[in-house]
Amino acid sequence: MTTALHAEQVWFSYPRHEPVLRNVSLSIPAGKHTVIMGPSGTGKTTLLRVMAGILTPSRGEIAVFGQPLIGRSRRELSSLSGYIPQQLGLVRNQSALDNVLMGALGRLGDAKTLLAIFPRAEIDAAHAALAMMGIDHKSNNQVFQLSGGERQRVAIARTLLQRPRIVIADEFASDLDLTLAYEILGRIRAAAETENITFIMSMHRLGLARKFGEEVLAMKDGAIGKGYIGSEYLETEPAEATA
């Protein structure tokens, strides 16, 4: 089986702080959506940012489909991995369509895009991505007019247009109610299959993790243990554990 992302003995610490990631090694198989769980403050966000190439690890190696991340430019990385931060990182007073089109910036030159002129093919692809997430009817709405769930759909559509091989999303769908979260995650799985993308998400709700993850990694104190799910989740969210 191909490995989508491989991390080898990754350490990370912010300047003048204790290490946040301690010797993390993991392999994420291609096509298997992976959920990383763990208590807050355990280093999930840092791990995701390191895996997305936003932070450079203090030590260790990371490769996406065999291509090492370290030393690559953002533009080169953009065809390998997409990143959705916890607050989604959408530009609030631009339309949903404009936000999705930003996914194509990595393969377009400055000259045309600065006048906000996008090739017809990209605009069609952006509408298609929005449609895949069930939100194309609101493509002209400004993001600040959209609900939380609608914004999540737009953020996914943006990474779909980027066409990376993996997408890393931080605490995705975690503030949505369960029914809505299931619907959106279902659409993501369908889109991921068509577009051949592997999703890596951090989550703290067991119900969502079970619904979406084909692999679940558990994190504790900056280290990872495969398949381990702490009992605190079962205690804090009993209703979802059976969902």
Joined together, the tokens standing for residue 71 give 């030393």
Distance separating alpha carbons of residues 172 and 176, to the nearest angstrom = 9
Instruction: Give the binding range for another protein (CB under 8 A) out of 82-90, 172-180, 189-197, 211-219.
Output: 82-90
Q: Does 57 bind another protein (CB under 8 A)?
A: no
Residue closer to another protein, measured from CB, 18 or 110:
110
Joined together, the tokens standing for residue 112 give 């045309």
Using N-to-C axis directions, what is the helix angle for 178-195 and 120-132, rounded to 10°? Answer: 140
Q: How far is the CB of 173 from another protein (least distance, A)?
A: 16
Pairing state between β 3-12 and 59-64: antiparallel
Residue closer to another protein, measured from CB, 13 or 79:
79
Q: Does 110 bind another protein (CB under 8 A)?
A: yes
Instruction: Give the binding range for another protein (CB under 8 A) out of 5-13, 105-113, 171-179, 199-207.
Output: 105-113
Query: What are the CA-CA distances from residue 96 to residues 36, 114, 226 (Å)?
Result: 28, 18, 37
Joined together, the tokens standing for residue 195 give 């577009």
Binders of another protein among 13-32, rule CB under 8 A? none
Q: How far is the CB of 91 from another protein (least distance, A)?
A: 5
Q: Does 144 bind another protein (CB under 8 A)?
A: yes
Distance separating alpha carbons of residues 20 and 49, to the nearest angstrom = 12
DSSP class of residue 147 equals -
Instruction: Give the binding range for another protein (CB under 8 A) out of 7-15, 109-117, 178-186, 210-218.
Output: 109-117
Instruction: Give the binding range for another protein (CB under 8 A) out of 19-27, 151-159, 174-182, 194-202.
Output: 151-159
Q: Does 113 bind another protein (CB under 8 A)?
A: yes
Residue closer to another protein, measured from CB, 123 or 229:
123
- When computed from its CA atoms, the radius of gyration of the chain, rounded to whole angstroms, is 18
How many residues sit in the footprint of another protein (CB under 8 A)? 41
Q: Does 82 bind another protein (CB under 8 A)?
A: yes
Centre a 10 Å sphere on the Cβ of residue 54 and count the other Cβ atoms it contains: 16
DSSP-derived 3-state class of residue 34: strand
Pairing state between β 34-37 and 215-220: parallel
Contact residues: another protein, CB under 8 A = 52-54, 74-79, 81-94, 98, 102-107, 110, 113-114, 116, 142, 144-145, 155, 158-159, 162
